[in-house]
Amino acid sequence: MAEICALVAAAGRSTRAGLPYPKTLFPIQGKPILVRVAELLAPYDLHPTIIVSPDGQEPIRECLDAAGVTSHLVVQPEPCGMGDAVLRFDQSPAFANAEHVLLVWGDVPFIQPETVATVVKVHIEHNNDFTFATRQVDSAYTVVSRDAVGQVTGVAETREQGIAAPQAGERDIGLFIFRKAVVLDVLREELPGKCGKSTDEHGFLYVIGHLAARGLRVKALPVATELDLVSLNNLKDVDSYV
């Protein structure tokens, strides 16, 4: 099988969560979210690369060491956006051997192993360039767009579209696998949508539309479960699971 390396985006500052430590270390059912994510990714990569903030580096290292998780920590010096975080994968020892990158947001505690397995299997067997999991929801904070024959044409964040109240639609869950060389090259280009209108940060989801427009193999798989959707933005998001 082609070399798959795991990448976890965990450089958030916990501003909205109001925690004095990285929100990825918040315990869910007695286990920090980041440890849960590392265990989820272990069948594909026993040594995931984790993007961390300067302040979060040591507490994350200590937490992972205590859990027996060996990882490559890469610091994102400033909170410049998810695209910037993904580009920092080139500073990881895993970068050279990676053909495909299995990317997971670091604040999603309940992504199911079956969901990951399906996305990886389809991506490799169909020789895709970019594959991600989705689900139809009543309030879609990210919205997948498709053409008349169901092919993905892009993914947008509702806040960047100026939509006050999210509507029903198909959304991603923070789980992606992609061909490293293709996606990182696009992230390095100066393209429409690269910087958020509301944040001015370098985003990530905009690359999906550009890949699709170039005729590359982009697939969105509507296989996500309700549990896959859970993420920690505010503590109330996980109240019923703690």
pLDDT (tens digit per residue) in 198-231: 788 999 999 999 999 999 999 999 999 999 999 8
Helix (H, G, I), strand (E, B) or coil at 99: coil
Which tens digits make up the pLDDT trace of 138-152? Answer: 989 899 999 999 999
What's the pLDDT band for 19 if we cut at 50, 70, 90?
confident
- Residue range 41-51: average pLDDT? 97
pTM of the full predicted structure?
0.94
CA distance 14 to 205: 21
- 18: which residues sit within 8 A by CB, 6+ positions away? 234, 235
Is 88 a residue whose pLDDT tops 70?
yes
Domain boundaries, the chain: 1-107, 131-172+182-229
Average per-residue pLDDT for the chain: 92
State yes or no: pLDDT of 11 exceeds 60.
yes
Taking 60 as the threshold, does the pLDDT of residue 1 lie above it?
Answer: no
- The fold for domain 1-107 equals Spore Coat Polysaccharide Biosynthesis Protein SpsA; Chain A (3.90.550)
Q: How far apart are CA 152 and CA 154, in angstroms?
A: 6
pLDDT for the residue 149? 96
Distance, in Å, from the CA atom of 6 to the CA atom of 175, rounded to the nearest integer, reads: 11
Least confident of 68-82, 200-214, 228-242: 228-242
Residue 165 has pLDDT above 70, yes or no: no
Of 207 and 165, more confident: 207
Sequence-ordered alpha helix ranges (H) in the chain:
33-41, 57-67, 82-87, 113-125, 180-188, 206-213
